Homo-oligomer: A and B are copies of this chain.
Amino acid sequence: MIYSAEQLKTFVKNAFLAAGASEEHALLASEALLAADLRGVDSHGVARLSGYIRLWQQQRLNMQPNIQLEHETPSTAVVNGDLGAGLIVAQRAMDIAIEKANNVGTGWVAVKNSNHFGIAGYHAMKALKHDMIGISMTNASALVAPTFSKDRMLGTNPIAVAIPAGKEPPFVMDMATTPAANGKLEVNERLNKDIPKGWAQTKEGHSTTDNCALKNGGAMLPLGSDREHGSHKGYCLGAWVDIFSAVLSGANYGPWVPPFVSFLSPPPNPVGEGIGHFVGAMRIDAFRPADEFKAHMDNWIQAFRKAKSVEGQPVVQIPGDQERLIEEERMRQGICIHSSVEEDMAEIAQLLNINRP
């Protein structure tokens, strides 16, 4: 069924409130979650609400976190999320990064003791209205095998970078460090469709088109897919995100990252607290006058839009174009929610004694 963004946001907010979150936190969480649905990343939006609620029921997520700044310098900080929802914790971290950028040009915050923060792009984009560049990354539970390995060692560890422009809309990249996000495997499974070679491997580490490869003990592959096509580079990117998010902050890294889903237990012998994020903000005018920068960004964007397409292929896109077009459409026409997610929502409504949208 189709719902308005406002209806869904109210539902998410009411769910967090009913679970004990403050008005402020419930609002932050609902905005971050809805940003995913609006931007077309359905797997990271309202569909994830039940995940947060189930973790909370297991006391693996704290609805009243005391988010603390544990250490800082003029341009850096470490934040302890107190097991709060990453949706909220990462926004607090980004606020701190922006404040530091205001003071000394840039701000960089490593976060521990958090969990799933939604879409990386949402957090990076918070910097835009301050005429800053925003960066965000997070680690996640291990699904990806490093080049040559059959073991799952890294999450799909996304990187987002949001860069303001002038007349043009901002440049917003938000990418998993794998060829395809995990959600795409699930879509193929639902449709009973093979996945392309290069997305996943079997338990033994062989190339596969099995859409259940992960469920059968296999692993996702890093961006690049195989050594010949640069999978070692995708592995580097995922490792970089893992180290910045968790080794810098004191969170769990690599195979120790706790899963988001409540039916899997966290790995034994944790090496840190919760999962980790890393966010940053850079003031444009810490480098050159913002107007000058934005005029050149407009020129950059226009030049790339004008690049000639291969015959039969779509026009060249600027990172963020696709998500923005979907957002405009969904703001007008509403958001279609899959029946399985509607069932989850009904369960949550009953559990927390709140109205369904």
Contact = CB atoms under 8 A, between A and B. Distances in A.
Interface of A: 71, 73-76, 78, 103-106, 108, 110, 145-151, 153, 161, 163, 171, 173, 175-180, 196, 198-199, 201, 204-206, 223-225, 228-230, 232-237, 239-240, 242-243, 247-250, 253-255, 271-272, 282-284, 286-288, 292-293, 296-297, 299-300, 303-304, 307-311, 313-317, 319
B106 A310 contact: no
Nearest to A280: B106
A73 B106 CA distance: 9
Nearest to A174: B236
Contacts of A110: 287
Contact of A307 (B151, B204, B316): B151
A150 B108 contact: no
B243 A286 contact: no
Given A146-B304, A229-B229, A237-B237, 7 more contacts: A74-B74, A74-B104, A151-B307, A224-B225, A224-B229, A248-B284, A250-B292
Contact of A309 (B148, B161, B229): B148
Contact of A303 (B147, B153, B171, B196): B153
B287 A248 contact: yes
Contacts of A236: 161, 173, 175, 319
B105 A313 contact: no
Contacts of A283: 73, 76
Contacts of A250: 288, 292
B74 A105 contact: yes
A196 B149 contact: no
Given A73-B286, A253-B300, A223 B230 contact: yes
Given A180-B230, A229-B225, A287-B249, A150 B300 contact: no
B288 A71 contact: yes
A243 B2 CA distance: 39
A99 B257 CA distance: 34
18 contacts: A73-B286, A74-B105, A75-B75, A75-B105, A75-B286, A146-B316, A147-B316, A148-B314, A150-B308, A153-B304, A163-B243, A173-B236, A180-B230, A201-B310, A224-B229, A239-B304, A243-B300, A247-B293
